[in-house]
Amino acid sequence: MTVVTKMKGFAAAAGLAATLLTGGASYALAEEVTLTMAVPDWPPTRIMKKFFDEQYKPPSGNKVKLDVDFIPWPDFYTRVNASLTSGEQKYNFIVSDSQWLGAFVEGGYYRKINDLLDADPDFKKTLMSVHPAPLAAYSTYPYKSENYYGFPQFPDVLVTFGRKDILCNEEEQKNFQAKYGKKLPCTGEEIDAMTWDDFKNVGEFFRRKKGEMLAGAPAEDDFYGIAFQAGKGYDFSSMQINGFIWQMGGNIWDETQAPAGQAEGVVNSPQAVAALEKYLSLLEYMPPVAKTGTMDIFKSDELFREGKVAMNIDWIGLGEASLDPKSSKVSDKLVFGQMPGTMVDGKNVKWSNIGGQPFVLTTWTTPEQTKEAVDFVKWWLSDDIQHQFAASGGQSAVKSVYEDPKYVTYRPWNRAWAPQLDWQKDVWHVPQFFELLTQQQDQFDLAITGKQDAKTTLDNIAKFQQDLLKNAGLIQ
């Protein structure tokens, strides 16, 4: 379904009568406009729809309806891809993952927005005030070019969720200090300073069987220190592994260097192999499900909310459920910090794969429909609404919003937001991204489930990527 504009018959007749009675003077009549949008089904898009329904007043005076198709994350890409490639032209507004940009721009589905920005200098100024990392990730194709296609809907980063009742317990603190000669991280600032070695120590220290003492009481179930995503589905393991690779001096294939950039020798460099080995070594200290290839972002979040893990690394977008006593056994026991890093020349390096999504417009959207969509996005990116979004559990990458001192008061994880923005990179935006991602996820799964070592895994990935990208003309 595309945007639908309707004028009721009686309104048209009334307008004609008014024109005749006033000797030719015309009166503008409000029209009905429906924007049909595909979005992933999770809190940031539910909040957006709620705000629209309760607050949005179109400047045009038209009656604008936002018809949202909420799609579960595991099915989101396949459903959107099927709709776009079928030619049905159902959606004119999509909350898209950044890595889809190349495929759907080259397919002729996503509309370039440079003309819309150039026609509205104030709006362009707002978009250009978005932090450079999410702006490049959510808006540009080719990546980091000045060709813009998206507006930020929800920016996201990985943070560390912690159980302060466990981490700050006096007895656990004393025992951890005795074993490792270091303080058990307890506050947000102490979590910020963690390395992956510190994270490993927390994992090792807090492995407890049901009935063993945990923070002064018998554990009600088997308990584990750490969790992060290790899932075969969609992009889950890649989003965590990329951070390890970048932090430890390795790289993924870099599309900004095409056609000179190579996959072989880069994707499987000694630094990248060491990084994957580091990632795999931490699985030992996680709940057993981590080694089955099914530890996606939802499973690790569930385990944390059920009180079975001391620390979990996950997206801010999932954080709201941890604060809600209806869905979280640990809602009153939370502390948040930045994702662990790697010490390089005395500095804690925190490179990570950015999350979050942009709004994009489809190419069949009419000028009137586009105007209503852009007016909505301008409203969404306004300081007032961005502050409200952050206060409701969302995030903002607009500098004037996230640098406001009150921003950190909205949610307990917001203190970790701005410091991590400078450390965000993104995966490829090229049209071949899904083939690259699917093969890589399959290979990572073999390593995660113990069927293949790190070097073999990255050698296989590098060869596949080299051949695919060379055939596509992206590697010389």
Average pLDDT over residues 319-329: 97
Q: What is the pLDDT of residues 255-297, one digit of tens each?
A: 999 999 999 999 999 999 999 999 999 999 999 999 999 999 9
Task: Kindly tell me if the per-residue pLDDT of 1 is higher than 60.
Answer: no
Average pLDDT over residues 85-92: 96
Could you tell me how many residues make up the chain? 476
Average pLDDT over residues 410-421: 96
Q: Could you tell me if 282 and 200 are in contact, meaning their C-beta atoms sit under 8 angstroms apart?
A: yes
What is the DSSP secondary structure assignment for residue 185, as one 8-state letter?
A: P
Question: What residue ranges do the domains of the chain occupy?
Answer: 30-156+356-425, 158-353+430-471
Average pLDDT over residues 333-350: 98
Handedness of CA 87, 88, 94, 98 (dihedral sign): negative
Task: Kindly tell me if the per-residue pLDDT of 350 is higher than 60.
Answer: yes
Q: What is the pLDDT of residues 204-245, one digit of tens each?
A: 999 999 999 999 999 999 999 999 999 999 999 999 999 999
Work out the mean pLDDT of the chain and round it to a whole number.
94
Average pLDDT over residues 295-310: 97
Q: Which of 237, 239, 238, 268 is nearest to 253 (CA)?
A: 268
Q: What is the pLDDT of residue 42?
A: 94
Number of helices (H) and strands (E), helices first, in the chain?
A: 21, 18
For the domain covering 30-156+356-425, report its CATH number.
3.40.190.10
Q: Could you tell me if 165 and 131 are in contact, meaning their C-beta atoms sit under 8 angstroms apart?
A: no
Torsional class of 356: left (φ above 0), alpha (ψ -120 to 50), beta (otherwise):
left
Structure tokens at 56: 């949005």
Average pLDDT over residues 360-379: 96
Burial of 138 (0-12, 13-18, 19+ CB in 10 A): buried
pLDDT band of residue 347 (cuts 50, 70, 90) is very high
Average pLDDT over residues 345-374: 97
CA dist., res. 254 & res. 136, Å (int): 14
pLDDT band of residue 74 (cuts 50, 70, 90) is confident
Task: Kindly tell me if the per-residue pLDDT of 13 is higher than 90.
Answer: no
pLDDT above 70: percentage of residues in the chain: 94
Q: What is the dihedral of CA 215, 218, 221, 227, to 10 degrees?
A: 20
CA dist., res. 421 & res. 370, Å (int): 30
Task: Tell me the C-alpha to C-alpha distance, in Å, between residue 288 and each of 186, 230, 263, 443.
Answer: 25, 11, 33, 20
Q: What is the dihedral of CA 242, 320, 422, 102, to 10 degrees?
A: 60
Q: What is the pLDDT of residues 461-473, one digit of tens each?
A: 999 999 999 999 9
Average pLDDT over residues 362-381: 96
Task: Kindly tell me if the per-residue pLDDT of 16 is higher than 50.
Answer: no
Average pLDDT over residues 386-390: 98
- Helix, strand or coil for residue 232? coil
pLDDT band of residue 30 (cuts 50, 70, 90) is confident
pLDDT above 90: percentage of residues in the chain: 93
Q: What is the pLDDT of residue 54?
A: 98
Average pLDDT over residues 419-425: 97
Hey, do 30-156+356-425 and 158-353+430-471 end up sharing a CATH topology, with the first three levels equal? Answer: yes
Task: Kindly tell me if the per-residue pLDDT of 26 is higher than 50.
Answer: no
Q: What is the pLDDT of residues 117-172, one digit of tens each?
A: 999 999 999 999 999 999 999 999 999 999 999 999 999 999 999 999 999 999 99
Q: What is the pLDDT of residue 28?
A: 54
Architecture field, domain 158-353+430-471: 3-Layer(aba) Sandwich (3.40)
